[in-house]
A and B are shown apart, each in its own frame.
Chain A
Amino acid sequence: MTALPSSSEERKPTEMLTAVRFTVSFGLALVLAVLGLALRNLAIAALSFTPLFYSMTLLLSYLALPHHEIEARRGVDRFRATEGEPIGVRVSLATEKGSYPMVFVHDELPDGLSCASGDVHYQGPLSLSQPRAALQYTLEGRRGVYALGGVHALVWSRFGLALTELTVESPVTLRILPASEKLGVIPIRPRRTRAFAGPIRSNLPGAGIDFFGCRAFAPGDDIRRIHWRAYARTQELVICEYEQERITDVSLILDARSRAHAAIGSHRTFEFAAQATASLASSFCRQGNNVGLLIYGDVLNWVFPGVGRSQIDRIHDALSTARLANKLAFEDLRQIPTRLFLPHSQLVLVSCHLDEADIETLALLKTKGYSILFVSIDTIPLESDQLPSSNDTALAVRIARLRRSLYLQSLERYGVQVIDWNPTAPLAQAIERTRRMHRRMRP
């Protein structure tokens, strides 16, 4: 548990309820008294006694309200968590001088965070002698960055007539990262690789596992690589070569154009895209590749390429703040800033949307020498589940499927690798299916 050194008391002059009650009761007493005196009617004047007594008691209660300092310390067991992962929160309250007969404490949660277990409320006394009152609960939330602000406390007087409100600041910032899954080897084949060993086949002869070719023996070659059977046939020394496996530069592009995403029931397709991007980034980084991220749709949101665990964190942090944007300048994919990407490197685009203009743009990128992997999120099953079943829906589903299938086939003809992902199933499954298909197609 991490305790934060923060607690500043701020008294809010919002005792509106007490003030209104006092004004109404005292005003009523005054009116009745004046009316009784004007009419010289003792009975009416006597009626003013009850509201007068009430208002005076209220005034005394208010004056007797304790004005000691309340200290709140909010501790969380982690500041970063992935979606669905619980975050334990403990708020401890204490008073330094006197005691409060009755307090009601409420820890307000921002939109997007919810209390998974425990209670965010406390009601009871707060005093020096008693141990510190504490709220203990666990939070779960959607992807995003959340600032937990002050703890609200309502304080009652001894007789419960007057009350005041306090906000005790105890700021904490939580970051909820997109959920990611562990992926296997992703089948990419960029035209350019780096010098260091990795899992990507580099189309260069050297040390490796996959057979690349044979050539005549040259002085200095490792004799262990001599193809003895070929020597027996031809009486010439022949060396077997294998394909080198290197690391490469991968640029992930998350499509954040609002026209490319939809809200389908309780699902938002952008969340699926963010999760897929997070999973791919983790996987590529773990393989040792140099990975960057571009969130396309708003102003330039670019995570500079890097390697290692810290790069995964940087990319996940950027994804946690990614939002949809509706900018006319980024209406289609033509405005992708290709200068950010290294020539002949691997681009990975994650999107739910595909239209004629996007296909043309991807084909253009391909002709520029980039290797492209397009992770296409298939939202048709999700949408068709939400729509009422009818003949029209069935026809529309058929049209949508046919169109999508033809678009993906077009992309494949242009040489773009496609991973067709149905978000109701794991992404690893879709990647494995694509890998198997590629293995079948390999000569």
Chain B
Amino acid sequence: MSTQRRRFLYGTTFALATTGVAVGLFYRYADAIRTHVVRPAIETYYVVRYYIDLVPQLFWWMIPPAVVSLVLLRRFLRPPTSDAAPQAPKSLSIRPGEGELTHLVRLVQRAHHSRFARVRLSRTLVEVAARLIAGREGIPLATARKMMLDGYWRTSRSMHHFLTPRRHYTARQGSAEFREALQETLDQLEDHDRTA
């Protein structure tokens, strides 16, 4: 007998037996079941229904702030999507006595999990790139920033994602894609720096 057939036979037998026992119990203890099971269940249903109806009427004003709070808290509740990235500390500001490189490492680690950190990292790179453009083109830094805002790096998709202010598409990428985009952006920035 195949396993599937055996499983079907066992299941059917169990269902029939359970039904038989239930029918027997209902037949034998009809009053008790009505008093102690059916009536409390119906009462509970109506009580719950009453409160379900009442709550939105009384507390409807709580829903918008609750939704906003949930949206804001989502990044803390979301599980890490990275494959092997270690958990980084929560704080992103430079701690006393901490070097800038340590701060940057922390930012890169956090960027695997946190959109906020990605935007911070992207802003850092935007400043670097603006300075690079200003040096290469011989223009003021403010002009370089404006040029970036207009999409200076449109030729490269990853650079455009990273280095166009107010866009920060990288925030929506997965961890691996983000790392790849970051590496590609850095490669190209370094190339530009060398050739400048």
A residues adjacent to B (C-beta < 8 A) = 258-259, 261-264, 269, 326, 353, 356, 379-380, 382-384, 387, 391-393, 395-400, 402-403, 405-407, 409-410, 413
Question: Which residues of chain B have C-beta atoms less than 8 A from A405's C-beta?
Answer: 193
- A-B contact list, 13 entries, CB within 8 Å: A262-B102, A264-B99, A326-B96, A380-B101, A387-B101, A392-B105, A392-B109, A393-B105, A398-B186, A403-B127, A406-B193, A409-B135, A410-B134
Q: How far is the CB of A421 from chain B (nearest CB, A)?
A: 16
| CB-based contact B99/A399 at 8 Å | no
Count of B interface residues, CB-CB < 8 Å:
30
- A397 and B101: CB pair below 8 A? yes
**Are B98 and A262 in contact, with the CB atoms below 8 A?**
yes
Instruction: Across the interface, name the chain B residue whose C-beta is closest to A391.
Output: B179
Whether B107 lies near A406 (C-beta < 8 A) is no
Beyond A384-B101, A391-B179, A413-B135, whether A403 also contacts B107 by CB under 8 A is no
Closest to A264 in B: B99
Given contacts A258-B96, A392-B85, contact A383 B101 (CB under 8 A): yes
Q: Are A399 and B109 in contact (CB under 8 A)?
A: no
Q: Say yes or no: is B132 at the interface (Cβ < 8 Å to chain A).
A: yes
Residues on A with beta carbons closer than 8 Å to the beta carbon of B159: none
For A353, A383, A399, A405, the residue with the greatest tally of chain B CB atoms inside 10 Å of its CB is A399
Contact in complex: B128, A399 (CB < 8 Å): yes
- Say whether B125 faces chain A, with CB atoms less than 8 Å apart: yes
The residue that A403 contacts in the complex, of B124, B179, B183, with Cβ under 8 A, is B124
Give bound CA distance, A392 to B101, whole Å: 11
- B15-47 residues with Cβ-Cβ distance < 8 A to A are none
Shortest distance from the beta carbon of B35 to any chain A beta carbon, whole Å = 66
Q: Is the beta-carbon distance between B186 and A262 smaller than 8 angstroms?
A: no
Which residues of the other chain, B, contact A379 by a CB distance below 8 angstroms?
A: 99-101
Residues from chain A with Cβ under 8 Å of B97 in the complex = 258, 261-263
Q: Does B115 contact A (CB under 8 A)?
A: no
> Inside 8 A of B100's CB, which chain A residues have their CB?
262, 353, 379, 383, 400
Question: Is the CB of B147 closer than 8 A to any CB of chain A?
Answer: no
A285 to B1, CA, bound (A): 102
B85 CB, min distance to chain A CBs, angstroms? 7
Contact A399 B85 (CB under 8 A): no
CB contacts (< 8 Å) of A262 on chain B: these are: 97-100, 102
Chain B contacts for A413, CB-based, 8 A: 135
Complex Cα–Cα for A395 and B127 (A): 17
Is B168 part of the contact surface with A, judged by Cβ < 8 Å?
Answer: no
CB distance A400 to B101 under 8 Å? yes
Which residues of A have CB within 8 Å of B98?
262
Q: Are the CB atoms of A399 and B135 closer together than 8 Å?
A: no
Assembled-state Cα–Cα distance A402/B182 (Å)? 13
B-side contacts of A398, CB under 8 Å? 186, 190
Binding site for A on B (CB under 8 A): 85, 94, 96-102, 104-105, 107-109, 112, 124-125, 127-128, 131-132, 134-135, 179, 182-183, 186, 189-190, 193
Chain A hits for B105, CB < 8 A: 387, 392-393, 396
Contact between A410 and B135, CB atoms less than 8 A apart: yes
Residue among B104, B131, B134 making CB contact with A399, cutoff 8 Å = B104
Cα(A383)–Cα(B190), bound, Å? 21
A80 to chain B, nearest CB (A): 29
Residues of B within 8 A of A407 (CB): 131
A261 to B105, CA, bound (A): 17
Decide if A406 touches B135 in the complex (CB within 8 Å): yes
A410 & B131 in contact (Cβ 8 Å cutoff): yes
Which residues of A sit under 8 angstroms from B99, Cβ to Cβ?
A: 262, 264, 269, 379, 382-383
- Most chain B CB atoms below 10 A, which of A261, A379, A395, A409: A395
User: A326 — which chain B residues lie within 8 A by C-beta?
Assistant: 96
- What residue in chain B is nearest A392 (Cβ atoms)? B108
CB contact between A396 and one of B96, B108, B112, B131 (< 8 Å): that residue: B108
Contact residues in A for B132 (Cβ distance below 8 Å): 406
A258 to B98, CA, bound (A): 10
Please indicate the chain A residues that have their CB under 8 angstroms from the CB of B182 in the complex.
395
Chain A residues with CB under 8 Å of B128's CB are 399, 402-403, 406
How far is A398 from B186 in the complex, measured between Cα atoms in Å?
7
B189: chain A residues within 8 A (beta carbon): 402
Q: Are B85 and A356 in contact (CB under 8 A)?
A: no
Residues of A within 8 A of B179 (CB): 391, 395
Q: Which partner residue on chain B sits nearest A386 by CB separation?
A: B102
Q: Which residues of the other chain, B, contact A387 by a CB distance below 8 angstroms?
A: 101-102, 105
- Say yes or no: A396 contacts B107, CB within 8 Å: yes
Given contacts A396-B104, A399-B108, 8 further A-B contacts (CB under 8 A): A269-B99, A353-B100, A387-B102, A395-B108, A396-B105, A400-B101, A403-B128, A410-B134
Taking the closest CB of chain A, its distance from the CB of B92, in whole angstroms, is: 13
Question: Once bound together, how far apart are the Cα atoms of A162 and B105, in whole Å?
Answer: 60
Q: Which residues of B contact A406 (CB under 8 A)?
A: 128, 131-132, 135, 193
Question: From residue A399, how far is it (CB to closest CB) to chain B in Å?
Answer: 6
CA distance A379 to B102 in the complex (A): 11
Tell which of A261, A380, A392, A395 has the most Cβ of chain B within 10 Å: A392
Minimum CB distance partner of A381 in chain B: B101
- Distance, CA A68 to CA B134, complexed state (A): 80
| Least Cβ–Cβ distance between A386 and chain B, in angstroms | 8
Smallest CB separation, B181 vs chain A (Å): 11
> Using Cβ atoms and an 8 Å threshold, which residues of chain A touch B193?
402, 405-406
Taking the nearest CB of chain B, how far is it from the CB of A398, in angstroms?
A: 5
Report Cα–Cα, A387/B98, bound state, in Å: 12
Quick one: closest A residue to B99, CB to CB? Answer: A262
Residues of A with C-beta under 8 A to B96: 258, 326
Say how far B139's CB is from chain A's closest CB, in angstroms. Answer: 12
| A395–B134 alpha-carbon span in the complex (Å) | 23
* Most chain A CB neighbours (cut-off 10 Å) among B102, B124, B125: B102
Smallest CB separation, B186 vs chain A (Å): 5
